[in-house]
Chains A and B, each alone.
Chain A
Amino acid sequence: EVQLVESGGGLIQPGGSLRLSCAASGFTVSNNYMIWVRQAPGKGLEWVSLIYAGGEVDYADSVKGRFTISRDNSKNTVYLEMNSLRVEDTAVYYCARIVTAIIMYWGQGTLVTVSS
């Protein structure tokens, strides 16, 4: 059974840093496209970052230069390192697996609140 479990969210002050983790089971992250999607309170879905099976990465313009996606193949885990956090980064962050261009599997989400 495919499972994605996010962790690492919390309350952080503007300008701070946080690292989110996404532990995967039931499949191998290094063979798949993995993404982070976020949802601000009461708002829609926003793609944040993507890591390809080959290890290439990509980011939304809103987080480029501040966020870094990576993975640890030995732990079958994907990470999102978030620096220089802003109030507008407040959101539930979902980790997800793409299968044939479909966001097929989603984690339960982890809430990041950026506030002073």
Chain B
Amino acid sequence: DIQMTQSPSSLSASVGDRVTITCRASQNIFNYLNWYQQKPGKAPQVLIYLASSLHSGVPSRFSGNGSGTDFTLTISSLQPDDFATYYCQQSYFTPPLTFGGGTKVEI
């Protein structure tokens, strides 16, 4: 099975900061990588699909990059609404669908 490793597991940042989260796959998944945002008590919501495509309605300050085994999610200027937990998920070798361990972005 593909293992997805996210780093860091948590980070502290301020409004206006540029934030980058990394996700690494244990095998080549090409660009079959999705990013989700989850707020406390809520279901996750897709932000980025196919590594770099912005889902409809997602602010342009979010961007995704990478291919193969190494991927990044960047928030160009952190906003108060962005404090949440972020997960990557590979969709190439499925099932099983595998998620990264999550990155909690907090103040």
Give, as a whole number of angstroms, the nearest-CB distance from B22 to chain A: 16
Contact across chains for A35 and B97 when beta carbons are under 8 A apart: yes
- Known contacts A45-B44, A45-B87, A108-B43; is A103 also within 8 Å of B96 by CB? no
- Which of A60, A102, A104 lies in contact with B96, CB distance below 8 A? A60
Residue of A nearest to B91 (CB): A101
- Whether the pair A103, B102 counts as a contact (CB closer than 8 A) is no
In the complex, A63→B82 CA distance in Å?
A: 33
Number of A-B contacts (CB under 8 A): 54
CB neighbours (8 Å) of A101 from chain B are: 32, 34, 49, 91, 94
Residues of A within 8 A of B83 (CB): none
Q: How far is the CA of A2 from the CA of B26 in the complex (A)?
A: 34
Residues of B within 8 A of A61 (CB): 96
Interface residues of B (CB under 8 A from A): 32, 34, 36, 38, 43-46, 49, 55, 87, 89, 91, 94-102
Show 9 residue pairs from A and B whose CB-CB distance is below 8 angstroms, ordered by the A residue. A37-B97, A44-B101, A45-B44, A45-B87, A61-B96, A103-B44, A103-B89, A106-B43, A109-B43
